[in-house]
Structure 1
Amino acid sequence: MSVLFGNKLRGFTFSAVMVSMLSASVFGYSEKASAAPELKTKSETAILVDGDTGKILYENKADQVLPPASMSKMMTEYLVNEAIKKGKIQWDQKTAISDYAHKISQNRDLSNVPLRSDYKYSVKELYEAMAIYSANGASIALAELVGDGKESKFVGMMNDKAKKMGIKDARFVNSTGLNNNDLQGYDSVGSKTDENKMSAKSVGILAFKLISDYPEVLDTASIPSKWFRPGTDDKIMMKNWNWMLPSLVYGYKGVDGLKTGTTDNAGYSFAATAKRDGTRLISVLMKSNSYAGRFGETKQLLDYGFSNYTKETLLPKGYQLKKQKSLPVIQGKEKEVGIATQEPVSMLVKNGEKQNYKPVLVIDKKHLDKDGKLKAPLKKGETIGHIQLKYTGKDADHGYLLNDGSGKGQASVVTTKAVEKANWFVLAMRGTGHFFGGVWDSAVDTVKGWF
């Protein structure tokens, strides 16, 4: 008996199946998350983040670079969805299968749906085969379609997109996550034994960007099984390798994605996401020691997040700092303007830690003159900076997946009214007033000296 494990086919005996089933009981895959005061993972690397803000809740050697295996396909998914959005391709568009994609798809030692070289498949069919069943031939066919006929060109797009996402340690050499050795010398990049490389943190960024920019990917990732080419001689039941989907053997309430990965070099890896009561978490494990183990450890990570963190509104809309409710304005009809937050700030906070977040005002320098005053004119509701929440507690603060300051644990600060620029006469009179005010003060001081 054999069962596919992500990219590669591994021998799997009946006794091993029983061990996996027993593991489900041992790990306690119930819907209720239990408290986890201390979290330790056995995988080589791990990370847990808030899926809404990218705030890191836990990490263990998350910057260590390893092969991500089929988790690489999340980047292929991203670029396919981007091409759809830009109108470069359509879901119902038909595409031919190259000799390369055809030959790889026939290898049942890999995760695949066999493709015909004399048939055109829709983008949707190939995408579902890739996202649900991790089909490698289908992934290559999509890469060639988006990459103008060349997977190598598509790989260049993958590396470029990674940089734009803020991922600095990733190196893609193919669209599937396979070792180049499995691609039989076709259109891969790098050496014959190269494999994609990235860290758990980078996989977390990729997953975060994917579901943030294209949340509809979860509609496909959450499908537990589906027929490929139903009603034809080519029909194949595609069973999702994410066995933590609620209806599968290691079912966990709220899991709706995202991607497993397995190769000889990568071991067993898994990028998961789950949503409960409005809170979304993303976890990544790399190089776990067993197929069942990665699901057990993922449960531990998700339990830890859901049990120990609560979404809190730390700043309401319209919040004003007690000592900085307004800022001085230069060359305006008014000499100051009120400021307030444009939106509330909600974020996952460790239980009992809410009071340890303090607001700090950060003004965009482009709005300031050399003396630190706002420059008129200013529109009502004009963004002039942001209030950031600074953690002051004793626990380690792991920060965010991306430290670009774009909407994570902060709120935009806007003006509460418009301030027009004063005309030359007002500015002149204001200057004259300052002059005569100084003269008057000097005269008063002199008179005081007479008495």
Structure 2
Amino acid sequence: MFKKLFAAALMSFSVAAFAVPFGSQSVLVVEDDTGKILLEKNADAVVPIASLTKLMTAMVVLDANQDMDELIEIDRSDVDTFKHSSSRVPVGSLISRRDVMQLALMSSDNRAAAALARTFPGGNAGFKAAVKRKIAALGMTQTVIEEPTGLSPRNRSNAGDLVKMAAASSKYPEITRMSTESKELINISGRKVEYRNTNRLVGADGWDIGLSKTGYISEAGRCLIMNIKAGGKNATMVLLNASASSARILDALNVRRFLTGDEPVRVAKAASSSGIKASSARPRVKASAGGKAKAKAVKKRTKAKVVPKRRKK
């Protein structure tokens, strides 16, 4: 299937391949080791980020050093009543915080992300305050995150800030491992249920992926953050607002082709503002010290504790 997509990508581009606009409305590719910007397109545009939000959710939960073996009961308040997104996680399920985080990162489950915020110290208000502090610590000056799932279009950022978020997230071993599992059996109330990664490139032949997160709501289009190794380079790509999953995949394929040197970037002299540009003049992009992992190593699981439902007042 990927070969067919790749062939379609080749047919769709002219001789000046990378001067032709990609399917994603914003693109930023940064070499991790040097901070050099390799490709960019509308990287400063502030737009909704959908479930890319869940990387931030995972970081602040890990920073809080909560018991990852503690059982969380999925509450009716975790159900999405805004976008009415589907979930295979039943209300009333008992799931360890570790597995809830895996569901949020790997399968992008919204009930799981909501449950992580609800059971955060201080509840949803405490979670929101922690996110605001984390955003400031990472120097993400163009970012606002109001809730943990990404369902709200008011969660907004630009590609430059999201590279900072990816750099910080990649320092958490739990996040890199969970986000790059192609599938996993999750223990839900004592029953093993298989879940799969929302990124079809994870586990695909030829891809060496170190961090992954997809996102979609209608206001944000199809989004993707990935750390990949290709052509001897470690790079982070941010793709925002593609019109379809296939367009997002084609863009990722072409970024990898550029990194491996299979097709050099040819930027037309009179390229439009919507075209991809190669760049090396921009300053290095770094995550601040606030991005260092504070999470403890995963310990042997002990007897689980149950977080009771919060009574509505």
TM-score (norm 2): 0.76
1:381 aligns to what?
A: none
1:80 paired to 2:56: no
Determine helix, strand or coil for the equivalent of 1:137: helix
1:292 paired to 2:246: yes
Q: Relative contact order, CA 8 A, sep 6+: which one is greater?
A: 2
Determine helix, strand or coil for the equivalent of 1:146: coil
- 1:391-424 Cα shifts (integer Å, max 9, x gaps): xxxx75122224989xxxxxxxxxxxxxxxxxxx
Determine helix, strand or coil for the equivalent of 1:172: coil
Checking the alignment, whether the CA contact within 8 Å between 1:245 and 1:256 is kept in structure 2 is no
Identify the match of residue 266 of structure 1 among 197, 220, 228: 220
1:148, 1:210 → 2: CA distance?
A: 23
Determine helix, strand or coil for the equivalent of 1:305: helix
- 1:250-302 Cα shifts (integer Å, max 9, x gaps): x5421243100010100111111112476311100111111111111012123
Identify the match of residue 137 of structure 1 among 91, 111, 114: 111
RMSD of aligned Cα (Å): 3.3
1:166 aligns to what?
A: 139
2:159 aligns to what?
A: 200
Checking the alignment, whether the CA contact within 8 Å between 2:184 and 2:195 is kept in structure 1 is yes
Q: Name structure 1 gaps, 5 residues minimum.
A: 1-17, 29-35, 180-193, 309-349, 351-394, 406-451
1:221 aligns to what?
A: 179
2:125, 2:257 → 1: CA distance?
A: 40
Query: What is the CA distance between 1:38 and its match in structure 2?
Result: 5.4
Checking the alignment, whether the CA contact within 8 Å between 1:58 and 1:398 is kept in structure 2 is no
1:216, 1:54 → 2: CA distance?
A: 24
1:201, 1:94 → 2: CA distance?
A: 36
Determine helix, strand or coil for the equivalent of 2:64: helix
- 1:353-384 Cα shifts (integer Å, max 9, x gaps): xxxxxxxxxxxxxxxxxxxxxxxxxxxxxxxx
2:287, 2:107 → 1: CA distance?
A: 34
Checking the alignment, whether the CA contact within 8 Å between 2:26 and 2:159 is kept in structure 1 is yes
Checking the alignment, whether the CA contact within 8 Å between 1:245 and 1:252 is kept in structure 2 is no
1:239 aligns to what?
A: 196
Q: 1:277 to 1:307 in 2, by over 3 A?
A: closer
1:100 paired to 2:81: no
Checking the alignment, whether the CA contact within 8 Å between 2:53 and 2:149 is kept in structure 1 is yes
1:228, 1:161 → 2: CA distance?
A: 29
Structure 1 segments (4+ residues) deviating >6 Å: none
1:404, 1:217 → 2: CA distance?
A: 18
- Which AA in structure 1 matches 2:99? E
Determine helix, strand or coil for the equivalent of 1:104: coil
Q: 1:43 to 1:174 in 2, by over 3 A?
A: same
Checking the alignment, whether the CA contact within 8 Å between 1:267 and 1:288 is kept in structure 2 is yes
Determine helix, strand or coil for the equivalent of 1:155: helix
2:76, 2:18 → 1: CA distance?
A: 54
Q: 1:278 to 1:129 in 2, by over 3 A?
A: same
Q: 1:257 to 1:24 in 2, by over 3 A?
A: farther
2:234, 2:75 → 1: CA distance?
A: 39
Identify the match of residue 100 of structure 2 among 113, 122, 126: 126
Determine helix, strand or coil for the equivalent of 1:63: coil
- Which AA in structure 1 matches 2:48? P
Query: What is the CA distance between 1:236 and its match in structure 2?
Result: 3.5
- 1:24-83 Cα shifts (integer Å, max 9, x gaps): 54347xxxxxxx775743321110012234332221110100001000101011112222
1:396, 1:227 → 2: CA distance?
A: 43
1:52, 1:291 → 2: CA distance?
A: 29
- Which AA in structure 1 matches 2:198? W
Checking the alignment, whether the CA contact within 8 Å between 2:167 and 2:286 is kept in structure 1 is no
1:64 paired to 2:45: yes
1:290, 1:122 → 2: CA distance?
A: 33
Determine helix, strand or coil for the equivalent of 1:229: strand
Identify the match of residue 87 of structure 2 among 86, 100, 112: 112
1:301, 1:82 → 2: CA distance?
A: 32
- 1:131-156 Cα shifts (integer Å, max 9, x gaps): 1100111111111222422x233122
1:347 aligns to what?
A: none
TM-score (norm 1): 0.54
Identify the match of residue 400 of structure 1 among 255, 276, 284: 284
1:90 paired to 2:67: yes
Alignment of structure 1 residues 279-318 onto 2, 5 Å: 279-307=233-261
Q: 1:45 to 1:230 in 2, by over 3 A?
A: same
Pair member with larger Rg: 1
Checking the alignment, whether the CA contact within 8 Å between 1:228 and 1:236 is kept in structure 2 is yes
1:303, 1:21 → 2: CA distance?
A: 13
2:119, 2:232 → 1: CA distance?
A: 37
The share of aligned pairs that are identical, in percent, is 22
